[in-house]
Amino acid sequence: MSLRAAIEELRLVDQHVHSVLPGAVGRPEFERLLTESDQPPPAGTTQFDSQLGFALRRWCGPVLGVDPAAPPDAYVARRALFPGTEASAQLLSAAGCGWLLVDTGFTEPGSASLADLGDLAGARVREVVRLETVAEELAAAGCGAAEFADRYRELLWRRSADAAAVKSIIAYRHGLDFDPARPGRSEVATAAGAWLRAASPRLTDPVLLREVLWAGVERGLPVQLHTGFGDPDLDLRRADPLLARDFLAGLSGAGVPVVLLHCYPFHRQAGFLAQAYPHVYLDLGLTMNYTGARAAAVLAEALELAPFAKVLYSSDAFGLPELVFLGARLWRNAAAEVLGGWVEGSHWSEADAIRVAGLIGAGNAARLYGLPAA
């Protein structure tokens, strides 16, 4: 079997994805979901004029029967003709994923349930539990400051009973330049008291963010850690995974793997960390979609240092089923181009390229999360 054929046949493990809107999506909403920005584009412009927008028309168009060169209006109009969830089903199933590991901590209103998402995609589904969301659920239910740490652990263990992993967004809420030490119980109680009295629904206290992260480590499941770019709520200057080096180094020997999510533009730094620490992994996530025609260049850079058994695939798709399909399509294209180029240059054998593509696309995640064959 050729490398290209082997990559096309892979049942991918999308190891970090969100749910999607299963039905019709109007043009303004579609545009909003084509960017990480929380601001509308300037008048007279469109989010389709981006690497992501061009890639979407090129690759999603044919799935829905739209010419790749057709303008955005034609794509959106054609999509609207599909009844019910048919467009989503076609796009999600075309992604060719055997597993979807779904972050449920952030969803668009009206998104598909985990069961429905799996049915539409023809994939098996497991949850990724967001640590900060669990704390916010606990605060909303009512909790005393002194009991916060114990009750958080109880709730986290219960919420993650069937989960594949837990996830932290400390990069968003504080930055990765956090104190790597676990806070003491009295420090946690004091911080919890201040947060609960403020009745703020959003957890931003650095002490409590560290406490829930360490509780996630204690839980023993793989810990997914957001790094790199995202929406404007993030200070990108503080999202370089190298800033978490002391925390990551401190976990050596703990037996808990950490997956650095997305990473761009710090994917080379993430590759170093994955090489330096046996428990550190990485993916490129939403980077594939947002870099579009440049996805292969970014993948090649990520593979400069990262051990091939430590690199995972994910789309980090949110809201639009197009992004689940597009992430898979662009990864397949990029993997064939990058690995195929190394084969053509006589650097690799084709057998090794096929094996590495299988590791990154599915095998590494199946091993890390203990997933049976889909």
Residues of the chain with pLDDT under 50: none
Task: Calculate helix-pair angle for 86-94, 321-344, nearest 10 degrees.
Answer: 20
pLDDT at 374: 65
* Beta-strand relationship, 97-103 and 311-312: unpaired
Give residue 44's region: left, alpha or beta (phi > 0; psi -120 to 50): left
pLDDT at 38: 85
The answer to whether 141 and 131 have CB atoms below 8 angstroms apart is no
pLDDT at 39: 84
Cα separation, 303 vs 88, in Å, equals 32
* Peptide bond connecting 265 to the previous residue in cis, omega within 30 degrees of 0: yes
3 state SS for the chain: CCHHHHHHHCCEEEEEECCECCCCCCHHHHHHCCCCCCCCCCCCCCCCCCHHHHHHHHHHHHHCCCCCCCCHHHHHHHHHCCCCCHHHHHHHHHCCEEEEEEECCCCCCCCCCHHHHHHHHCCEEEEEEEHHHHHHHHHHHCCCCCCHHHHHHHHHHHHCCCCCEEEECHHHHCCCCCCCCCCCHHHHHHHHHHHHHHCCCCCCCHHHHHHHHHHHHHHCCCEEEEECCCCCCCCHHHCCHHHHHHHHHHCCCCCCCEEEEECCCCHHHHHHHHHHCCCEEEECCCHHHHHHHHHHHHHHHHCCCCCHHHEECCCCCCECHHHHHHHHHHHHHHHHHHHHHHHHCCCCCHHHHHHHHHHHHHHHHHHHHCCCCC
pLDDT at 16: 98
Question: What is this structure's pTM?
Answer: 0.97
Beta-carbon contacts of residue 333 (< 8 Å; ≥ 6 apart): 295, 296
pLDDT at 34: 93
pLDDT at 294: 98
Which residue reads 């490129």 in tokens?
284
pLDDT at 254: 87
Cα separation, 28 vs 50, in Å, equals 16
104: amino acid identity, one letter: T
**How open is the CA angle 111-165-130, to the nearest 5 degrees?**
55
Tell me the per-residue pLDDT of 203-245, one tens digit each, with 9 for 90 and over.
999 999 999 999 999 999 999 999 999 988 899 999 999 999 9
pLDDT at 226: 98
pLDDT at 373: 76
Cα separation, 170 vs 214, in Å, equals 11
Neighbours of 4 (CB within 10 A): 17
Burial 172-196 (b: 16+ CB within 10 A, else e): bbbbbbbebebbeeeebbbbbeebb
Distance of CA 245 to the CA centre of its chain: 21
The answer to whether 341 and 348 have CB atoms below 8 angstroms apart is no
Which CATH homologous superfamily contains domain 3-369? Answer: Metal-dependent hydrolases (3.20.20.140)
